[in-house]
């Protein structure tokens, strides 16, 4: 019996066994291969080569598969295909939201949460806004089953939290606070106590860096009360925020109580779903130490014990491969170390501590880092150190530091 070649003589057999791809994918295939759909699906006699020509301005199939093809172009067209496929998946289920859609959003949220503390905002901003929009469209579309509603609201709260933090990092406290309220609304709809407390913490953080310590303390106190019975780290973060705000207000006793309470509760921590999410949603021991040191620097302290703690805080963020590493926290800890050394009279040590911060590329200079550096400059204006050559040079360099700001999205 003669063998029969099972492969059809048309290119569609390579993909869909005799059927053209769904319309959602056709623009992607045309863009990647450079030919129209009709040309690609034309019968070609066995043993011959296709005679049709590529679309104007498009590359031929050969150029895309040539060994010398530009890898960046391949990544660009591949990213277009993935983006379009995501749009297809998000719109595929017209009546209800499918599990694949939720899985896709889970992957996106995990990626963005992990990337935020590690990468310049400009690299993730567009993806962050797009994913937030996708979640909002699903919530607005009326296609969500009751069992999915809480999960989508949790995602909306998490993504809005990150967008709000982005506006804060771009020194736009009004839009940051507005987006935080959106995150809080999603958290309430999800009935997620931890996220509700976290949004109060973010309001406190925004107010703290906007030089509104009374508001910062109010929001931190409110969030701490909400998280009082929680075993995860969100309650510890709110105590750290309380201590920092109280330090700006000069309330040393409240700083002591908040930090001691946080240290005691650290021993009873049981990680919850927010801690498992990671990134800005967990409060690691090294970050707790960084906050505690900062509260002491805001009170103007600078003894040998505090210097050692500040050096330990910097060391805690010294490994960029560590799971809790964040370039912003590292820079903040380095600025605090510079302050503690200045308060101890060690100008050269302060210069060495802040040097890595001043060497940061413009893409990493977010609002918190710039404010922290300027606190060092302010400290250099007073005391016996202000007349030294090293102090004058460092002041001048910090003044120039924000000139090429900052971690902004392109355009």
pLDDT tens digits, 371-389: 999 999 988 887 656 667 8
Residue 87's pLDDT band, with cuts at 50, 70 and 90, is low
Overall average pLDDT of the 161-176 stretch: 93
Whether residue 35 is predicted with pLDDT greater than 60 in this model: the reply is no
Whether residue 94 is predicted with pLDDT greater than 80 in this model: the reply is no
Whether residue 64 is predicted with pLDDT greater than 90 in this model: the reply is no
Two structure tokens written together for 298:
């805001």
Least confident of 44-53, 154-163, 281-290, 335-344: 44-53
pLDDT for the residue 58:
41
Cβ pair 203, 180 in contact under 8 A = yes
Between 326 and 89, the more confident residue is 326
Least confident of 124-128, 144-148, 162-166, 236-240: 144-148
Residue 220's pLDDT band, with cuts at 50, 70 and 90, is very high
Residue 54's pLDDT band, with cuts at 50, 70 and 90, is very low
Least confident of 277-291, 303-317, 361-375: 361-375
Residue 1's pLDDT band, with cuts at 50, 70 and 90, is very low
Whether residue 15 is predicted with pLDDT greater than 50 in this model: the reply is no
Interatomic CA distance for residues 184 and 158, integer angstroms: 10
Cβ pair 241, 197 in contact under 8 A = no
Q: How many CB atoms lie under 10 A from the CB of residue 248? A: 18
- In order, the DSSP letters of 322-390 are STT--HHHHHHHHHHHHHHHHHTT-HHHHHHHHHHHHTS-GGG--HHHHHHHHHHHHHHTSSGGGGSHH
Least confident of 9-18, 63-72, 218-227, 253-262: 9-18
Interatomic CA distance for residues 20 and 26, integer angstroms: 9
Percent of residues, the chain, with pLDDT higher than 90:
59
Overall average pLDDT of the 181-207 stretch: 97
Nearest to 168 by CA among 113, 209, 220, 132: 209
pLDDT for the residue 66:
46
Overall average pLDDT of the 213-220 stretch: 98
Interatomic CA distance for residues 199 and 201, integer angstroms: 5
Between 193 and 393, the more confident residue is 193
**Cβ within 8 Å of residue 270, ≥6 positions away:** 231, 232
pLDDT for the residue 204:
98
Least confident of 34-38, 208-212, 267-271, 281-285: 34-38
Least confident of 63-72, 241-250, 263-272: 63-72
Burial 365-387 (b: 16+ CB within 10 A, else e): bbbbbbbbbebbbebbeeeebee
Which residue shows structure tokens 């606190």?
Answer: 375
Whether residue 393 is predicted with pLDDT greater than 90 in this model: the reply is no
pLDDT for the residue 158:
98
Cβ pair 84, 28 in contact under 8 A = yes
**Across all residues in the chain, what is the average pLDDT?**
82
Cβ pair 405, 370 in contact under 8 A = yes
pLDDT for the residue 4:
43
Least confident of 25-29, 232-236, 352-356, 381-385: 25-29
């Amino acid at each position: 019996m003669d063998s029969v070649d099972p492969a059809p003589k048309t290119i569609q057999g390579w993909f869909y066994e005799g059927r053209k791809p769904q319309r959602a994918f056709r623009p992607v295939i045309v863009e990647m291969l450079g030919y129209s759909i009709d040309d690609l699906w034309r019968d070609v006699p066995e043993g011959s080569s296709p005679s049709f020509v590529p679309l104007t301005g498009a590359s031929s199939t050969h150029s895309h598969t040539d060994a010398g093809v530009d890898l960046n172009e391949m990544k660009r067209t591949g990213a277009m295909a993935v983006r379009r496929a995501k749009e297809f998946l998000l719109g595929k289920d017209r009546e209800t939201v499918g599990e694949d859609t939720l899985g896709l959003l889970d992957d996106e949220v995990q990626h963005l949460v992990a990337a935020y503390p590690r990468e310049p905002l400009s690299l993730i901003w567009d993806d962050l806004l797009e994913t937030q929009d996708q979640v909002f469209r699903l919530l607005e579309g009326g296609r969500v089953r009751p069992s999915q509603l809480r999960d989508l609201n949790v995602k909306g709260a998490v993504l809005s939290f990150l967008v709000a933090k982005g506006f804060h990092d771009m020194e736009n406290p009004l839009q940051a606070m507005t987006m935080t309220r959106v995150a809080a609304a999603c958290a309430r709809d999800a009935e997620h106590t931890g996220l509700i407390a976290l949004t109060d913490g973010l309001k406190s953080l925004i107010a703290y860096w906007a030089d509104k310590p009374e508001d910062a303390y109010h929001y931190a106190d409110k969030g701490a009360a909400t998280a009082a019975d929680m075993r995860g780290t969100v309650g510890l973060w709110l105590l750290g925020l309380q201590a920092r705000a109280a330090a700006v207000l000069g309330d040393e006793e409240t700083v002591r109580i908040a930090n001691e309470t946080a240290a005691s509760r650290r021993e009873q921590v049981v990680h919850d779903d927010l801690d498992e999410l990671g990134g800005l949603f967990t409060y690691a021991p090294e970050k707790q130490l960084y906050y505690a040191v900062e509260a002491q620097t805001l009170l103007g302290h600078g003894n040998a014990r505090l210097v050692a703690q500040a050096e330990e805080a910097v060391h805690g963020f010294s490994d960029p491969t560590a799971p809790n590493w964040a370039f912003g926290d590292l820079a903040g800890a380095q600025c605090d170390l510079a302050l503690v050394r200045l308060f101890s009279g060690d100008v050269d040590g302060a210069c060495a501590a802040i040097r890595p911060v001043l060497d940061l590329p413009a893409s990493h200079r977010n609002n918190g880092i710039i404010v922290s550096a300027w606190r060092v400059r302010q400290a250099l204006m007073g005391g016996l150190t202000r007349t030294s050559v090293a102090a004058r040079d460092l002041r001048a360099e910090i003044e120039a530091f924000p000139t090429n700001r900052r971690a902004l999205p392109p355009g």
